[in-house]
Amino acid sequence: MDLNAVTDVLRPCGRAELPIACEGDAVLGGGTWLFSEPQPAIRRLIDLAGFGWEPLRTGADGLTLSATCTIAELNGLEAPSEWRAAFLIRECCRAFLASFKIWNMATVGGNICLALPAGPMISLAAALEGEGVLWAPEGTERRVRIADFVRGPREVALALGEVLRAVHLPAEALRRRAAFRRASLTPLGRSGVLLIGTRGEEGDFALTVTASTRRPVQLVFPAMPISGELAAQLAAAIPDALYYDDMHGRPDWRRHMTHLLAQEIRDELSEPGEGRA
């Protein structure tokens, strides 16, 4: 779609070329959302493509994804075998039910900054203790957990002019055992519920709830909880008003499925296992 209100498109090639932020600016990732609907308030696009960032890098400390890494590039990653949770990467890419055209354009940063509850890169990064690197306009940088960065539908912790530069997933999180569950109202529908559980060597358990809730919700236990404790903690952490309501699922269905899938994950990760749970 043509964005008729846009008068300038800037393509900085280095950090010093990032413009002073103005109302009406929008950072352009892959543009799959920006160009999908009218944007009457946007006057200027700041296109990140000119930076030419390396899409992703693996190292002893984990996986670093540039904000401009596309879903297709991430899906193609060959992860080290000791990263037992790496199968989540493909699960989350596939939770993004879109054509190859979207997969080749949509970026990790755009998915996170758009902050739709069904954003699968939010699910992945929140569950794997991902940390976002934010560039501020005055040249400083700050880091924030992705689980905290996404505050609600279309709401993130970005100040005017800030850009999400990268997301880092630590190796310790990638080495954990993991289990994935997703539910949608239709076979090819958008995620209505997406839960990821991970378990550490010490037996600690983390459950991350996304898609069913307005923002990511994470529960952390020092040991695997019994079924009743998990249900009680879920009920306490997610009041009814926090369940999301849109055409992809009613809150009561999302609550029911969240509890059901959480128990499945609990059962799965209670079993002894080496690799994928």
Q: Which residue is nearest to ligand FAD (CB)?
A: 110
Distance of CA 192 to the CA centre of its chain: 15
- Angle formed at CA 87 by CA 143 and CA 170, multiple of 5 degrees: 25
When asked if residue 163 is in the footprint of ligand FAD (CB under 6 A), the reply is yes
Q: Which is nearer to ligand FAD, 174 or 211 (CB)?
A: 211
Q: Residue 175: which of 198, 196, 207 has the closest Cα?
A: 198
| Contacts of residue 162, Cβ cutoff 8 Å, sequence gap at least 6 | 134, 135, 136, 137
When asked if residue 183 is in the footprint of ligand FAD (CB under 6 A), the reply is no
When asked if residue 55 is in the footprint of ligand FAD (CB under 6 A), the reply is no
When asked if residue 212 is in the footprint of ligand FAD (CB under 6 A), the reply is no
Are 129 and 110 within 8 A, CB to CB?
Answer: no
Q: Which is nearer to ligand FAD, 157 or 224 (CB)?
A: 157
Q: Which is nearer to ligand FAD, 189 or 251 (CB)?
A: 189
Q: Which is nearer to ligand FAD, 208 or 234 (CB)?
A: 208
Q: What is the rounded CA–CA span in Å between residue 116 and residue 122? A: 9
Q: In DSSP terms, which residues pair with 150 in a beta bridge?
A: 156
How many residues form the binding site for ligand FAD (CB under 6 A)? Answer: 31
What the block records as the tokens of 253 is 């269905």
When asked if residue 21 is in the footprint of ligand FAD (CB under 6 A), the reply is no
State the residues that interact with ligand FAD by CB under 6 A.
Answer: 26-34, 36, 48, 67, 96-98, 102, 105-107, 109-111, 113-114, 116, 118-119, 158, 163-164, 190
